[in-house]
Amino acid sequence: MFHEIDLFPPQEREHEPTMLGEQPTIHPTAQIRASRIGGWTEIGPHTTIVKSSFDDYSYAAGDVSIIYADVGKFCSIASHVRINPGNHPMNRVTQHHMTYRRVQYGLGTTDDAEFFAWRAADRCMIGHDVWIGHAATIMPGVQIGTGAVIGAGAVVTHNVAAYDIVVGVPARRLRARFSAEVVASLLAIAWWDWDRATLEARFDDLRDPALFLAKYAGT
């Protein structure tokens, strides 16, 4: 005999999504520190965002780590993604973080401010409408162009061009989503900057690239 069981809270059931709005929707288990979060965003469970920006309509599915990064609008970030994982000083005698987290080890009265400034300056830049697949890693300083796709499990060590698809370890270019002409037109239209009223009025056109370009290219 089978019994119908539903242990998920209503907002986590399939087909019963949480309604989003101007205020960010942040799971109680998520941790946000010294960051800017846009509207119509959703931050999933056990996600950490530190000293970063996370722009309008983007979401992080859960167990995502983002530090020293700027994430654009309409980005789709799958679970277990890591953006800008910590670097260690390979040029030192030891790479161990005791050399810069000195206070924690009782080896100094202050931490290594120069090291942390270097980490903070080596930001990741994620464009608009980027899809980052499950468990992908974006290494420090990498820039991901608008409309790009990062395959599941990829380790991205170099910049990714707009609307390119990259996969693998280390990530390599698989192909472009559209022709160069279409990419140029989409970047020029910059639909991600439309206000809410314009987005609502033109929403149905987002499903058909040919129709979309016929209507809005050159406007």
Q: Which of 13, 42, 18, 12 is nearest to 30 (CA)?
A: 42
Query: 88 an active-site residue?
Result: yes
Residue at token pair 């080890």: 105
Q: Note the Cα 166 to chain centre separation in Å.
A: 15
* Catalytic residue selected from 3, 88, 134, 158: 88
First to last CA, the chain: 62
C-alpha distances (whole Å) from 44 to each of 54, 59, 69, 78, 98 are 13, 8, 17, 10, 32
Residue at token pair 């859960």: 62
- The answer for residues whose C-beta is within 8 angstroms of residue 157's C-beta and 6 or more apart is 139, 142, 170, 171
Angle between helices 209-216 and 180-189 (to 10 degrees): 60
Active site residues: 88
